[in-house]
Structure 1
Amino acid sequence: MLYAMYEMGRAAMTPWRAAVNAGRNAALSPMNPFFETPAARTWAAAAEVFERASRAYNRPDWMIEAAEIGGSRVPVSPETIFETPWMELTWFRREAGAMKAATGGKAQPKLLLVAPMSGHYATLLRGTVEAFLPDFEVFITEWKNARAVPLSDGRFDLNDYVDHVIDALHVLGPQTHVAAVCQPGPLVLAATAVMADNDDPCTPASMTHMGSPIDARRSPTVPNVLAMQRPLSWFHDNLVHTVPAPYPGALRRVYPGFLQLMSFMNMNWDRHVDAHWSFFEHLVDGDGDSAEKHREFYDEYLAVMDLSEEFYIQTVDEVFQQFTLARGKMMHRGQRVRPQAITKTALMTVEGENDDISGIGQTQAAHDLCENIPEEMRLDHVQDGVGHYGVFNGRRFREEIAPCMKGFMRSHWDEKADLKARPDFAALIR
């Protein structure tokens, strides 16, 4: 019922948004004799703030058209090379001729970025992708909005997520590096452990966990405490709702993206209010550059997706209440997940000093669980001065974290083994 009411409310705002837009256009029209006055600019600014606050944001585009490699501009195009009803595996294809000229034909390692399925689209990692494009063959998991997946395509739970990570690694072949950003950390670790236990030749060469709740008992943050304070039934009864028509996933039970967004924003409500007030002032003052930066950030931040009921409830239960991976009790398809089985995959952890989502120590816990990885194949990096978002985006990430990750991955990459079994990705494009 809540989901349907939300959609009805959004639909009811449509004529108001149209009217406000018309008024904004009139205020800024050169035919309006007052269009350059402070009153007209103030009205237009207020109208844009209202329109943007009341609109529905769709999945953003990648907006990555080129990368600077070896002093040359190399065209880039996102291509799907593997797809299921729940995920697209995207390859950031760099134009072959330009790459050869820029690198002299020298091979580069493969990197699989596992994006979080936590309410935002994979495009939230645009900056992460851009940082690695000059030096790596980059791939990313793009999870699909649960409300767009018909009931006939079945359920999606933690086991399915782990299977998808394993499938993606099989598509990319041996000697792939994998990086889990936030939420997927425990599941990428589980996938790697299962592959190692089964002597899978595509077990990743290295895995990097970035701001991940590997053991959410350590330095619990506000979201961790809230998850532990309420019984699992509360989450099911209050946060899971039914997708209404006419969405393709109508009647599917989901954790709606708009509820997740409200949770995110309530954690830093004052900051968001200040940001929108500053946006209003920038518009009135004619500061186009600052206003555009605001638009770019919130176009991404406010675009959210739904999560399937089973995935969401199991995540709360296993990751934030039962801590099954950290306690050695996690199972995958009847097989116990044993991080101690990992011996040949290098391990790096990245944490932010001011992370208010995954506290210090939660990601580092991976080192304790993977007890049989040799010491020379480990690296722990705590980045000073950054919060959760800064772990995978922003200046500190580009200048300090990404170079550290690149060096670690390259030091644990067998180039000959990689090239010997590397697939022809161009042939896989769909």
Structure 2
Amino acid sequence: MLMAYAMFEGARAMMAPARLAADITRYSLNIPGNPMAYSPYARSVAAGCEMFERATRRYGKPAFGLDATVVDGRRVPVTERVVWERPFCRVIGFDRGFLQPPAAPQPKLLIVAPMSGHYATLLRGTVEAMLPDHAVFITDWTDARMVPLLAGRFDLDTYIDYLQDMFRALGPDLHVMAVCQPAVPVAAAVALMEARNDPAVPVSMTLMGGPVDTRRSPTAVNCLAQERGQAWFERNTISLVPPVFPGALRRVYPGFLQLYGFMAMNLDRHVTAHSDMFDHLVTGDGDSAEKHRDFYDEYLAVMDLTAEYYLQTVETVFVDHALPRGLMRHRGEPVDLAAIRRCAILAVEGENDDISGVGQTKAALDLTPNLPDARKAYHLQEKVGHYGVFNGSRFRAVIAPRIAAFVREMAAQPAARIPHLRSVG
């Protein structure tokens, strides 16, 4: 399996001439001055060429493309700024234009994007929905194939170290939102800081569709990890980055393998979507074709994960259930959620989530007995799946306002005002 990545890149390189020929053919058949461009045959050939080119291209990292938002009823420009950076991640801040007169201060919100194959831009809609009422930051994880070996390892322990550094850099009045996979490392980072009485502990954390305890309502993804175990994933998913990338010879879980896994979960839907795309191109339905392009330009853009991070996460979260069982350790230090006594928690779940089943995120509320009930909240969103927990119409209409209200309430009662309880353990 170690050479699978090199073989994949070799096959992609061999397809380059055919991909270029298909693109040239498509372009020539779509020129308005070409008399053949309007024939059904030409449209079918052009559509086939575009489908071939899209199926064989490499999709680059998308842009957030958030140029403006509305604050206090006024439209203001938005610009991106890097506020924190390490080899495997940077934090992007979304600066909103100055208001005259100045708007009232708004809570700082760090969105921790999932490091599970797709880029942080998958949360574009999440950022957009939170921008009007928050000073928003987001973790922009780096594609592992672009990080040289000299930068060192990146595992789950490093991930937690990064989070604590971010909290200190952006705090102390910080609110955190963990979308899916980061729920476990975010909760662990907060627990470790709470145990040390760190003044930079976030005021609140919102955990959204995260696998805190995958023993509850286990999904097909959870069952696969439990049945196969870490050793199987190491044998069948880990490969070496080819020499053509800066991270040459780094052991990774390649993005293309992750993508195949994503698509296999809903293969019929993807086949139908591409068949419909071909029909849209042939019939000249440009709007529908553009929607398909926008979705798959994002969906097919994937990044590599370091092998050590991926395998440690599989073992810790999905096989051993170390956090809910009280067995998780960070660089030898025990991680005990009972240490959390100041950072408020909102758990958000989707009724039809097939990745993190109902109850898996809510488990965080049960594992924090020393956190006052007034600083705990739960929201189960009906009729949404995993993606709908953090994006889409119901997220914008129901979930985002619920999160904003929770953040405002907790900001009015900052953690510093909550009496310190006796240390746990």
Same fold (TM > 0.5): yes
Cα-to-partner distance string for 1:262-281 (whole Å, 9 max, x where unaligned) = 10100000011111111111
Greater alpha carbon shift after TM alignment, 43-52 vs 254-263? 43-52
Superposition deviation, residue 30 in structure 1: 2.2
Superposition deviation, residue 38 in structure 1: 2.0
Q: Is the 8 A contact 2:115 2:181 kept in 1?
A: yes
Percent identity (aligned): 55
Distance 1:221 1:130 in 2: 30
Map of 1:342-353 to 2, 5 A cutoff? 342-353=340-351
Q: 1:63 aligns with which of 65, 88, 106?
A: 65
Cα-to-partner distance string for 1:202-223 (whole Å, 9 max, x where unaligned) = 1011111101000011111111
Tell me the secondary structure at the aligned position of residue 246 of structure 1.
coil
> For residue 93 of structure 1, what is the aligned residue in structure 2?
95
Q: 2:27 aligns with which of 19, 25, 44?
A: 25
Distance 1:386 1:184 in 2: 20
Cα-to-partner distance string for 1:66-114 (whole Å, 9 max, x where unaligned) = 112223221111110111101101101112x2x344xx43100000000
Superposition deviation, residue 235 in structure 1: 1.0
Q: Is the 8 A contact 1:215 1:365 kept in 2?
A: yes
Cα-to-partner distance string for 1:161-184 (whole Å, 9 max, x where unaligned) = 001111111111112110100001
> For residue 261 of structure 1, what is the aligned residue in structure 2?
259
> For residue 355 of structure 1, what is the aligned residue in structure 2?
353
Distance 2:48 2:69 in 1: 37
> For residue 423 of structure 1, what is the aligned residue in structure 2?
none
Map of 1:107-122 to 2, 5 A cutoff? 107-122=105-120
Greater alpha carbon shift after TM alignment, 27-36 vs 320-329? 27-36
Q: Is the 8 A contact 1:100 1:106 kept in 2?
A: no
User: Cα 1:341–1:100, aligned 2, differ >3 Å: closer, same or farther?
Assistant: farther
User: Cα 1:316–1:52, aligned 2, differ >3 Å: closer, same or farther?
Assistant: same
Distance 1:225 1:52 in 2: 33
Distance 1:143 1:30 in 2: 42
User: Cα 1:42–1:166, aligned 2, differ >3 Å: closer, same or farther?
Assistant: same
Q: 2:149 aligns with which of 132, 148, 151?
A: 151
- The aligned amino acid for 2:5 is Y
> For residue 38 of structure 1, what is the aligned residue in structure 2?
40
Q: Is the 8 A contact 2:203 2:415 kept in 1?
A: no
Superposition deviation, residue 32 in structure 1: 1.6
Distance 2:187 2:246 in 1: 32
Superposition deviation, residue 50 in structure 1: 1.3
Distance 2:10 2:207 in 1: 40
Cα-to-partner distance string for 1:342-371 (whole Å, 9 max, x where unaligned) = 111111111111111111111111111111
> For residue 246 of structure 1, what is the aligned residue in structure 2?
244
- Structure 2 segments unaligned to the other structure (5+ residues): 417-425
Instruction: Give yes or no for the alignment of 1:205 onto 2:203.
Output: yes
Distance 2:149 2:130 in 1: 37
> For residue 223 of structure 1, what is the aligned residue in structure 2?
221
The CA RMSD measured in Å over matched residues stands at: 1.4
Distance 1:100 1:138 in 2: 20
Distance 1:310 1:15 in 2: 36
- The aligned amino acid for 1:28 is N
Give the TM-score normalised by the residue count of structure 1. 0.94
> For residue 8 of structure 1, what is the aligned residue in structure 2?
10
Superposition deviation, residue 27 in structure 1: 1.1
Map of 1:315-334 to 2, 5 A cutoff? 315-334=313-332
User: Cα 1:67–1:415, aligned 2, differ >3 Å: closer, same or farther?
Assistant: farther
Distance 2:306 2:143 in 1: 9
Q: Is the 8 A contact 1:174 1:417 kept in 2?
A: no
Distance 1:122 1:54 in 2: 23
Distance 1:286 1:72 in 2: 38
Q: 1:160 aligns with which of 142, 158, 161?
A: 158
Q: Is the 8 A contact 1:261 1:302 kept in 2?
A: yes
- The aligned amino acid for 2:331 is R
Superposition deviation, residue 415 in structure 1: 8.4
Distance 1:188 1:350 in 2: 15
Q: State the aligned residue count.
A: 414
User: Cα 1:21–1:374, aligned 2, differ >3 Å: closer, same or farther?
Assistant: same
- Structure 1 segments unaligned to the other structure (5+ residues): 419-430
Q: Is the 8 A contact 2:343 2:415 kept in 1?
A: no
Give the TM-score normalised by the residue count of structure 2. 0.95
Instruction: Give yes or no for the alignment of 1:196 onto 2:198.
Output: no
Distance 1:228 1:417 in 2: 37
Superposition deviation, residue 375 in structure 1: 1.3
Tell me the secondary structure at the aligned position of residue 68 of structure 1.
strand
After the TM superposition, list the runs of 4 or more consecutive aligned residues in structure 1 that deviate by more than 3 angstroms: 414-418
Tell me the secondary structure at the aligned position of residue 349 of structure 2.
strand
> For residue 406 of structure 2, what is the aligned residue in structure 1?
408
Q: Is the 8 A contact 2:113 2:178 kept in 1?
A: yes
Q: 1:301 aligns with which of 284, 299, 302?
A: 299
Tell me the secondary structure at the aligned position of residue 36 of structure 2.
coil
Q: Is the 8 A contact 1:181 1:211 kept in 2?
A: yes
Q: Is the 8 A contact 1:162 1:188 kept in 2?
A: yes
